[in-house]
Amino acid sequence: MGKNSWVWWFVTLVLWWSKIATGEEYIKYKDPEQPVGVRVKDLLGRMTLQEKIGQMIQIDRTVATIQIMKDYYIGSVLSGGGSTPLPKATASDWVNMVNDYQNGSMSTRLGIPMIYGIDAVHGHNNVFNATIFPHNIGLGAAKDPELMRRIGDATALEVRATGIPYVFAPCIAVCRDPRWGRCYESYSEDPKIVQEMTDIIIGLQGEIPNGSRKGIPYIAGKKKVAACAKHFVGDGGTTKGVNENNTVTDKHELLTIHMPAYDDSIIKGVATVMASYSSWNGRKMHADHDLVTGFLKGTLRFKGFVISDWQGIDRLTSPPHANYTYSVETSILAGVDMVMVPYNFTEFINDLTYLVKNNFIPTDRIDDAVERILSVKFTMGLFENPYTDFSLINEVGSQEHRNLAREAVRKSLVLLKNGKTANNPLLPLPKKVSRILVAGSHADNLGYQCGGWTITWQGFSGNDATSGTTILGAIKSAVDPGTEVIYFENPDSKYATSSGFDYAIVVVGEHPYAESAGDSPTLTVADPGPDVINNVCQSVKCVVIVISGRPLILEPYLPSIDALVAAWLPGTEGQGITDLLFGDYRFTGKLPRTWFRTVDQLPMNVGDPHYDPLFPFGFGLTTSKSTIARSVSAGAAESPYVLGIMVSVIIGFHIQIFSSSTIFCSLSVSEVATVLLYPIKEIMDELDLIKQETMDELDESLNQHENEVVPEDILLEVKEEPSLLEVNQDQEQEQEQEQEQEQEQEQEQEQDQDQDQDQDQEQEQVQEQKQEQGVAATGGGGERWPGWPGESVFRVLVPSQKVGSLIGRKGEYIKKIVEESKARIKVLDGPPGITERAVMVSAREEPESSLPPAIDGLLRVHRRVVDGLENDSSHPPPTVAGKVSTKLLVPASQAGSLIGKQGTTVKSIQEASSCIVRVLGTEDLPMFALQDDRIVEVVGEPVGVHKAVELIASHLRKFLVDRGIIPVFEMQMQMPPNPPVEHMPPPQTWGPPPQAFPQSAAGGPGYGNSPHFMPPSRQHDNYYPPADMPPPMDKQPHQGISAYGREAPMSMHSSSNNPAAPSLITQITQQMQIPLAFADAVIGTNGASISYIRRVSGATVTIQETKGVPGEMTVEINGTASQVQTAQQLIQNFMADAGAPQPQTGPPADQGYNPYGAPPMYSSAPSNAGVPGQSGGYGSVYGNNYGY
């Protein structure tokens, strides 16, 4: 043990004795001198389950109050896009709000501070008067890592000035298709550029100390913020660029294109990672244990916490929130540590508590999540400095930061064309002329200039929402005082021709958008942009500035344009554009992504075999006085794609770099090099060229001898970059060295912490060994996933009329089956009018168990279906010639295995059970079955059939599936191939209907217009108990594959590209008239009963006042036929159980405190019935589909 260790122990001992002497308990986690790991372990050991779950929750500030923060131990609060304390709130307003919420957290038993998060994706973009930097695509064009550090540093200062310590940035997606609505949030189509741009993390968090362990989060102090690398992983590669869609690619492309930036971010100490809405090969990222836990936390050794996207776990089902308990379970087990709820936090708390207490989620998983969250909070110093002072408020929008943003704009602009002839470039423009025409909708619109994610989620239009300089304002400031600047947004050609303008500046582009609102299949310049270009540029010399988040279709306009500039989304500092237009600085930006000709070419990225762009990746001219610039301009004008030679160079490098470790190639330099000089240098940078003989001399020579042929060759050496797919010996040695360092550090800590870290290392090693070795996880072979041995899944067909008896009143029977068997049971939805429903039973396989949970659950379900309710003669089991018939749905390959060689297997089952077992043909398949399914039918006496089902299940248990594809089963089985049925028969109930209901002479107990009983504004439930009285667990509904028989409505709709296409599953609407005397029974205390009905049935159930019938209320039920049937049956069950009606109590009183009223100009967040403090709160301007 070294000298420093002895000193540390001595100081600790002195502090401990001093606490004893003063009579004050020494609390280790409150001691800042203790290592973070020691503090985390001490605090975690003191926490209850409720306190731990609270730390895993992030709620929106519109539902947050001081009381809620205290009562529910909320770990984090966020501001959604445009969610502010007040309109044009000052930095002081923000600080006061954040400190108020922190008061609630610090008043809890353990005093754990909350962490406030916000989107700061191009500066502190939600805050009035803050500095707005160019969006990421522009910064990718600048390609300046040192600039990124400075931008990160400035952003951190402004965010901290408003009291916020956590930002959801940077976005490190690699956008591979510009049709994606988030493409401007991506730095480039090239993963290497994205890797370099992760240096912004150093600016945001501080530079990680030398010798730090990989994966450990690092935040330097009170002027830095925790960063968030997002969205893990592959969100930029979705099919056709559709937001939140599926990324279809192999593992090699995932790891070489989309993953490298995450590895770099983790090396730089990023504190958090956000999961993506998107899927990889059909599996949702929020549910992907293999990538989130196995690769991110295991292989990449990330030790921070993983946060979900906005309502990200809700979207694991379709429609969202249809099966919330399943979503909670799946996402937490996948590795999500903190959930951006953001509204229905009590539902999340109740569901997660249920799942933990019933062993669906192990407590170790909860502890792991909370450890990671607490580690970040301790590392940030939040326990020592939970509150924000006002010392930094002047940093917001400071002149120093605006100057930095202006520099970023200058470096981000890309000059695509300069002059119609080789000897007549238009740029730089003269400042002193007679008259200048400025035209276009984007010339004098700060909102258009900044783009989405500015002040509001979708951005804004106009110049009043925040402060800055428009392009028009910058032009007026830049030109000579004697120059007349005329602004005409959309002039006609006659005006442009006859007004004596020396030249024109046309500014056009896209209107602001964010996320899915920006998905575009056309990528055209917004109106009236095309008309402005045609009218002006055919009449006067013009430079066209394109304000957009991605390349747009420009080829039709190129012949009439003299100069063309891609300005991307530059932000608030328009002077950065005029700095280059008028020659104060040279253009240096290069295209971070390929500029296509037509959308038919997409997706098209550098290195693709069909690469034929308008302007290639890496292209960018400069405004030098040398004729190099003029020659390049001429080339661009005559041949917009620049030169095929350059394309072949790029393609050649990208193809060869993956096939050879070292490549030498010699390029003859002729007059072509004059045109290609700057692009070639860019390509060389992109491909890590190690040796570059005579390049500097060549550059100088071409400037001095513009028309000479250069005889020198350029010798290029390209080294292969190691891929994340392979772990070479150097990496293994590095890991061994790091492990040795870890062991030395561990020896200096407490013995208990020693053991915990050793266990973590062993788990990581086992995880890596599993991934390296690979063992089959399915019956048909394949790769072993970290979740091996996988899940057993059985599907049994149940007569529709028997589903009610299987579920039982209030779910009592199916809940009991789940609790006793530990299996997951789900009654799958189906098309209307079907006579059978599929019940899916699944559970993790336990090879050593004689009766695994899935088989146990299947047998219990089968027994319930066959035996039915006691004395229930109205629904006898299905019979064939007096015998029971049971049908199992199995894949064809499994059915073949069940038959066995020469029928030996099925014969043995028949002999053992005295039943007939046969595999039916495809003509007997129900319409919801999968294409390769087969029915295995068992006919015989009930006892024998039950035995045969057990033998069949025991044989099929070896066919395991990865848990992640179970939702795919559900989704596919609920997509009928047949056209929708328009006319439905009347719903059939599962039991005798209730008798006549007694009428209340008073019209029933106070239902009336009480807002407590109004239907929620969203499809999912918003059940919130009073803040000081959480509802008991046995009164809370739970749904999902892991709860008890939740029937998720997996309604699948046609693509949004064809809105006229009908829904694949017909929705019907039924109304029930319910006596007001039974309002209590149907609605329940605080809406518990109606919430349960909605959850179990999957239907949308709303309660209205009676339509002309006194003493009654109308219940409207919308959903598929089976959903409506289930809801009606449950309503009848509640009324039958109610007996005499009880008097109704009023809604709970407002328990919360929120001093900031919602401004009337902002629409409020969706109403949440019964939320304490909900009537107050800050306003919101975003909808339910908001994400990060």
pLDDT in tens, 489-516: 999 999 999 999 999 999 999 999 999 9
Sheet of strand 563-568, all strands in order from the earlier edge strand to the far edge = 414-418, 563-568, 542-547, 503-509, 435-439, 484-488
Determine whether 986 is exposed, middle or buried from the number of CB atoms within 10 Å of its CB (0-12, 13-18, 19+).
Answer: exposed
Mean pLDDT of 861-875: 64
d(CA 756, CA 1040): 34
Who has greater pLDDT, 908 or 432? 432
Cα torsion through 1134, 1139, 1144, 1149, rounded to 10? -50
Considering the chain, what is the average pLDDT of its residues? 77
Mean pLDDT of 207-235: 96
What are the structure tokens assigned to 1018, written together?
A: 């969203």
Mind listing the pLDDT tens digit for each residue in 414-430? 999 999 886 899 999 99
Q: Which of 766-770, 822-826, 929-933 has the lowest mean pLDDT?
A: 766-770
Find the helix or strand (DSSP H, E) in which 608 lies: none
Mind listing the pLDDT tens digit for each residue in 167-205? 999 999 999 999 999 999 999 999 999 999 999 999 999
d(CA 1182, CA 1179): 10
What are the structure tokens assigned to 1009, written together?
A: 């217009």
- Interhelix angle 892-899/904-913, nearest 10 degrees: 70
Q: What is the pLDDT of residue 1147?
A: 35
pLDDT band at 347 (very low <50, low <70, confident <90, very high): very high
d(CA 549, CA 572): 15
Handedness of CA 361, 779, 818, 341 (dihedral sign): positive
Determine whether 479 is exposed, middle or buried from the number of CB atoms within 10 Å of its CB (0-12, 13-18, 19+).
Answer: buried
What would the 3-class secondary structure string for 1037-1084 be? CCCCCCCCCCCCCCCCCCCCCCCCCCCCCCCEEEEEEEEHHHHHHHHC
- Interhelix angle 1088-1097/1121-1138, nearest 10 degrees: 150
What are the structure tokens assigned to 1017, written together?
A: 């504004």
Shortest CA distance to 661 belongs to which of 709, 721, 708? 721
d(CA 955, CA 13): 63
d(CA 142, CA 932): 53
What are the structure tokens assigned to 216, written together?
A: 């450990």
Determine whether 740 is exposed, middle or buried from the number of CB atoms within 10 Å of its CB (0-12, 13-18, 19+).
Answer: exposed
What are the structure tokens assigned to 50, written together?
A: 């409720």
Mean pLDDT of 360-371: 98
Reply yes or no on whether the pLDDT at 1168 is more than 90: no
Reply yes or no on whether the pLDDT at 949 is more than 70: yes
pLDDT band at 535 (very low <50, low <70, confident <90, very high): very high
Shortest CA distance to 1086 belongs to which of 1132, 1133, 1018, 1021? 1021
Mean pLDDT of 597-616: 96
- b (16+ CB within 10 A) / e for 152-182: bbbbbbbbbbbbbbbbbbbbbbbbbbbbbbb
Rg, C-alpha atoms of the chain: 33
Angle at 1175 between CA 1174 and CA 1176, to 5 degrees: 90
pLDDT band at 1085 (very low <50, low <70, confident <90, very high): confident
Beta strand segments in 984-1057, E: none
* Terminal-residue alpha carbon distance, the chain: 47
Residues annotated as catalytic (active site), given as ranges: 309, 515
pLDDT band at 1103 (very low <50, low <70, confident <90, very high): confident
Mind listing the pLDDT tens digit for each residue in 90-149? 999 999 999 999 999 999 999 999 999 999 999 999 999 999 999 999 999 999 999 999
Q: What is the pLDDT of residue 1078?
A: 85
Q: What is the pLDDT of residue 974?
A: 59
d(CA 226, CA 219): 6
pLDDT band at 973 (very low <50, low <70, confident <90, very high): low
pLDDT band at 518 (very low <50, low <70, confident <90, very high): very high
Mean pLDDT of 583-602: 98
d(CA 263, CA 1006): 60
pLDDT band at 1037 (very low <50, low <70, confident <90, very high): very low
Reply yes or no on whether the pLDDT at 10 is more than 90: no
Mind listing the pLDDT tens digit for each residue in 1045-1063? 233 333 333 333 333 333 3
The percent helix, strand, coil of the chain (3-state, each to 5) is 40, 15, 45
Find the helix or strand (DSSP H, E) in which 969 lies: helix 966-973
Reply yes or no on whether the pLDDT at 242 is more than 60: yes
pLDDT band at 771 (very low <50, low <70, confident <90, very high): very low
Mean pLDDT of 271-287: 98
Mind listing the pLDDT tens digit for each residue in 997-1009? 333 333 332 323 3
Who has greater pLDDT, 687 or 938? 938
d(CA 815, CA 165): 43
Shortest CA distance to 572 belongs to which of 473, 697, 701? 473
Who has greater pLDDT, 591 or 1170? 591
Q: What is the pLDDT of residue 680?
A: 40
Handedness of CA 383, 387, 390, 395 (dihedral sign): positive
Coil vs helix vs strand at 372: helix
Q: What is the pLDDT of residue 659?
A: 29
pLDDT band at 870 (very low <50, low <70, confident <90, very high): very low
328, 360 contact by CB (below 8 A): no
Reply yes or no on whether the pLDDT at 554 is more than 90: yes
Mind listing the pLDDT tens digit for each residue in 292-343? 999 999 999 999 999 999 999 999 999 999 999 999 999 999 999 999 999 9
d(CA 349, CA 417): 58
Whether pTM exceeds 0.75: no
Coil vs helix vs strand at 506: strand
d(CA 536, CA 443): 14
Shortest CA distance to 155 belongs to which of 198, 108, 111, 205? 205
Reply yes or no on whether the pLDDT at 632 is more than 50: no
Q: Which of 375-384, 553-562, 589-598, 962-971 has the lowest mean pLDDT?
A: 962-971
76, 115 contact by CB (below 8 A): yes
Q: What is the pLDDT of residue 734?
A: 54
Angle at 516 between CA 512 and CA 520, to 5 degrees: 70
Find the helix or strand (DSSP H, E) in which 641 lies: none
Shortest CA distance to 370 belongs to which of 786, 51, 792? 51
